[in-house]
Chain A
Amino acid sequence: MAFINKSAKEIQVKIVYYGPGRGGKTTNLLYVNQKMSAKFMGKMISIDTRGDKTLFFDFLPLSLGKIRGFSIRVQLYTVPGQVLYNESRKMVLKGVDGVVFVADSMEVQREANVESFLNLRDNLADDNLDLQEMPLVLQLNKRDLEGSVIPVLGEETMRDDLCQHLKAPAPVMGASALQGPGVFETLREISKITIKSVHYKLRS
């Protein structure tokens, strides 16, 4: 649920990075935090354990300029990916405006990707939100492992695995959160479609 402040001319949207554990959601945010100019960015807050798993969420507020006189503030959240933390995931998902699904390209994670995607659908449904109508970008992370000793899933396979649960295909981005390619492209795409959808909802 976007927050629109007409007197301050400000739109605030919440974007959540979702996906299986150890897939690189936090790394996405870290990369943005490290490479983006500090003047467009607030402080990143990470609630994690000592083993650097996300325990509750990471949070990074950004301002992305102005559209029609409204300044756009985006809040990026990640969820804990481990199966155990479903309740925490549900809490973070509350009032979400857009989702980046960070899928892990490693072959061993194929099932985990689909499981997490269906978990996203169920958790959204619990909050009366429909995955089919949610602004969504699928990020295929760890593409840098392609051509290494680690078996990696093909982009087509991953796309098919996830998109078969969608009525209309979502934009797909290859990425390597550790190295950088695809991180800002994903952020740009999800911001664009989220703001478009907020704008559309406003008009209707």
Chain B
Amino acid sequence: MPSADREIKDIFQGADRIEILGKLPFILWEYINQGRRLIQEMGSGPGDFSSSFQSMERMLGVLGTAADHLGNEELKGRLAGHTRIITSYRNGDIPHGDFSQSFSSELASLEKVAGNPPNVTADSLLPEDFVERELQRVEKVKTGRSADVVVSGDMLDDIRGFLTEKVLTEEISSILIIDNAGTLIVNVGNKVDLDAISLAAVAAANFAATEKIARLIGERDFVLLFYKGRNESFHFRRLGTEYIIVTIFNNSLSLGLIRLKVAEVAQTLERKLPKREG
């Protein structure tokens, strides 16, 4: 993969991390509160607590990663203690009564490093499924799938080869495939002075803006955009729901021909492009 592609991905992952760190206090306190509820329920009699444990283990996994990013060793240590005690209880190594007691003291010691609980008022903007949504987001970052679309070098080479062979002609100076978020996926062509990364970001923004225009007049979206310049022109077309193909061509080529050409290869490209995960 060319370095430019990798660079963009890193920017996004960094941003996700910032977002997660900002939400860490909420998740931490949600864990503590859920732990307290669990102890209460266990005190009122035997039952099946496996779903509570599952959700708490999930939160622990996420909190551990976040504490890692944060470099907070104390928090990391306490969280590791929680994982240990839950695992040994679930393996049947500690009896019921002992677990409640030691887990409760572990929770108390975690509370000490957790800082102030977040002040959630009726005025807050937090949605109800906030914790669940954040958990999903963090788990994606943890597994390195935060970019949602994963492309392999082979896949890119295949698409690049296909575009060069089937679409690129003398009149077409560049073809770009970008995704809805403005990430440059593939860039082929000979327009050397092209700032493809900026172009991709602005083109996606433009496409999204015209989609809003479409909605305002009751259309779902515009599937095709065309801009005519003095020497060169732009043609945008949607590929499936995720991608946009941008063609830059000189004015000796007619618009009809370019539309036909792009329409011809659109289906093949849709098949070749990676699907969004999750």
Measured CB to CB, the residues of A under 8 A from B are 21-22, 27, 30-31, 34-35, 45, 47-51, 53, 55-56, 80, 82-88, 91, 104, 106, 108-109, 112, 142, 144-151, 177-180
Contact = CB atoms under 8 A, between A and B. Distances in A.
Contacts of A21: 15, 18
Given A45-B212, A47-B205, A85-B182, A108 B18 contact: yes
A150 B18 contact: no
Contacts of A30: 125
B95 interface: no
Q: Which of B8, B72, B118 has the most CB of A within 10 A?
A: B118
B140 to A, nearest CB: 10
Contacts of A51: 12, 148, 181
Given A51-B148, A149-B25, A87 B201 contact: yes
B114 interface: yes
B199 to A, nearest CB: 8
Nearest to B122: A180
B18 A106 contact: yes
Contact of B123 (A45, A88, A180): A180
Given A47-B209, A144-B119, A150-B70, A53 B15 contact: yes
B22 A55 contact: no
13 contacts: A50-B181, A51-B181, A53-B181, A55-B180, A55-B204, A91-B202, A106-B18, A148-B24, A148-B25, A148-B116, A149-B28, A149-B115, A180-B121
A84 B196 CA distance: 11
Interface in B144-190: 148, 180-182
Contacts of A108: 18, 21
Question: Main SS of the interface on chain B?
Answer: helix
Given A82-B11, A147-B116, A178-B126, 5 more contacts: A35-B123, A50-B181, A56-B208, A148-B25, A150-B22
Contacts of B72: 149
B121 A84 contact: no
B108 to A, nearest CB: 16
B124 interface: yes
Interface residues of B, number: 40
A144 B118 contact: yes
B25 A55 contact: no
A126 B201 CA distance: 19
Contacts of A88: 201-202, 205
Contact of A150 (B12, B21, B121): B21
B268 interface: no
B205 A85 contact: yes
Contacts of B24: 148-150
B102 interface: no
Given A82-B11, A148-B115, A149-B115, A104 B124 contact: no
Contacts of B8: 84
Given A22-B15, A47-B212, A147-B116, A106 B28 contact: no
B171 to A, nearest CB: 26
A142 B202 CA distance: 29
B69 to A, nearest CB: 8
B198 A87 contact: yes
B19 interface: yes
B23 to A, nearest CB: 9
Contacts of B245: none
A156 B181 CA distance: 36
Contact of A87 (B75, B120, B126, B202): B202
Top 7 closest A-B pairs, CB basis? A148-B25, A56-B205, A147-B116, A49-B181, A148-B115, A180-B123, A22-B18
Contacts of A31: 125
Contacts of A53: 12, 15, 181
Contacts of A83: 11
